């Protein structure tokens, strides 16, 4: 049992212990928009129970901020409750879930994760309302915007803007309880530019709900953008200087401890750089 706490006018966030994942509910006269569904059908059912206790209306739409398991594997629970409920996501998030979802499920089955059985029992449900750039959800007494700011954490991360509440839901483009996860499906050379687009949607007095952790202010997002820009630029410079990939982590100066995120950033960055820029002659 996890409580939904109101962080702004009719915007409630529940922070679940498993994966430290945030689920957000946006209230309106047309019911609740639920942003992210947690990590399994069973976990999604728990979210629905918690929403029932909140008593702020029934769920009329679901949004997945991106395709990762901790944000989309609860989708089936919402369809169980209402077979017609629309599930919104960026088109590339839906594509990635279709292409990679079963593989991600398989990784759980082989892991020691205590939740592996409920993940194995989870039916993947793909978002059926996709978009490429922006989408407005007209909730009657308020308007909610889904915006694709560019690639970053994954191919298709969206942010949710609730203008009248002064809140932006950042998904995993912004993380508070850990450094942003740079995985092997991330775009470390572009992430900071996407955060510039996000920042253009965040007024100084607004708050940003991250995918993991407590709400942050604009300055926090600026710092995370700067860190990601340093990482992207460092990868680019190392590649241009002809530093081999296996030496790149040790050679770079990073804004954080050189963890798996940094290793992934190097690997992904080297893959993504056009071949001609990987090794420039030293003039
Ligand atoms: Zn996440």
Structure confidence by residue, pLDDT tens digits, 142-177: 999 999 999 999 999 999 999 999 999 999 999 999
Measured in Å, residue 235 CA sits from the centre of ligand 1 at 24
Output the CA 155–ligand 1 centroid distance in Å: 14
pLDDT per residue as tens digits for the range 44-82: 999 999 999 999 999 999 999 999 999 999 999 999 999
**212 CA distance to ligand 1 middle (Å):** 6
User: How far is ligand 1, taken at its centre, from the CA of residue 142, in Å?
Assistant: 27
**What's the burial of 19, exposed, middle or buried (CB within 10 Å: 0-12/13-18/19+)?**
middle
One-character DSSP codes across 154-165: SSS--EEEEGGG
CB 101 within 8 A of CB 76: no
Q: Predicted confidence band at 281 (pLDDT cuts at 50, 70, 90)?
A: very low
CA of 280 to the centre of ligand 1 (A): 36
So what's the pLDDT on residue 160? 98
Rounded CA-CA distance 39/55 in Å is 23
Map tokens 């039916």 to a residue. 123
User: 230-260 pLDDT, tens per residue?
Assistant: 999 999 999 999 999 999 999 999 999 999 9
Report the separation in Å between the CA atom of 244 and the middle of ligand 1, taken as the mean of its atom positions. 30
Instruction: Say if CB 1 and CB 26 are below 8 A apart.
Output: no
Measured in Å, residue 141 CA sits from the centre of ligand 1 at 30
**Residue 257: CA count within 13 A, CB half-sphere:** 4
- Tabulate helix, strand, coil % of the chain (nearest 5): 40, 20, 40
Q: Residue 109's pLDDT band (boundaries 50, 70, 90)?
A: confident
Which residues have CB atoms below 5 A from the ion given as ligand 1?
Answer: 70, 172, 211
Distance 278 CA to ligand 1 centre (A): 31
Residue 209 Cα, ligand 1 centroid: separation in angstroms?
12
Please state which CATH class domain 5-277 belongs to. Answer: alpha beta
d(CA 57, CA 252): 51
Instruction: Give the chain's mean pLDDT.
Output: 96
């Amino acid at each position: 049992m996890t409580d939904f706490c109101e962080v702004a006018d009719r915007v409630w966030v529940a922070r679940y212990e498993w994966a430290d994942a945030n689920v957000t509910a946006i209230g309106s006269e047309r019911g609740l928009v639920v942003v992210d569904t947690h990590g399994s059908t069973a976990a999604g059912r728990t979210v629905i129970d918690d929403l029932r206790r909140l008593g702020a209306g029934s769920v009329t739409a679901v949004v997945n901020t991106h395709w990762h398991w901790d944000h989309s594997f609860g989708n089936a629970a919402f369809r169980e409750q209402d077979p017609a409920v629309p599930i919104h996501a960026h088109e590339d998030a839906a594509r990635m879930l279709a292409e990679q979802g079963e593989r991600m499920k398989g990784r759980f089955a082989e892991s020691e994760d205590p939740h592996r059985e409920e993940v194995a029992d989870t039916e993947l449900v793909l978002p059926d309302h996709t978009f490429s750039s922006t989408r407005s959800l007209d909730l009657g007494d308020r308007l909610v915007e889904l915006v694709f700011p560019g690639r970053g954490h994954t191919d298709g991360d969206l942010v949710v803007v609730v203008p009248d509440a002064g809140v932006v839901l950042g998904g995993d483009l912004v993380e508070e309880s850990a450094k942003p996860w740079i995985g092997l499906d991330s775009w470390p050379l572009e992430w900071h530019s996407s955060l510039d687009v996000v920042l253009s949607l965040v007024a100084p007095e607004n708050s940003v709900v991250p995918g993991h952790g407590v709400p942050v202010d604009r300055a926090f997002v600026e710092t995370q953008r700067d860190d990601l820009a340093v990482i992207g630029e460092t990868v680019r410079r190392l590649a241009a200087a002809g530093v081999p990939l296996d030496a790149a982590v040790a050679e770079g100066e990073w804004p954080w401890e050189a963890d798996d995120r940094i290793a992934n950033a190097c690997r992904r960055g080297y893959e993504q750089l056009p071949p001609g820029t990987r090794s420039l002659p030293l003039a």
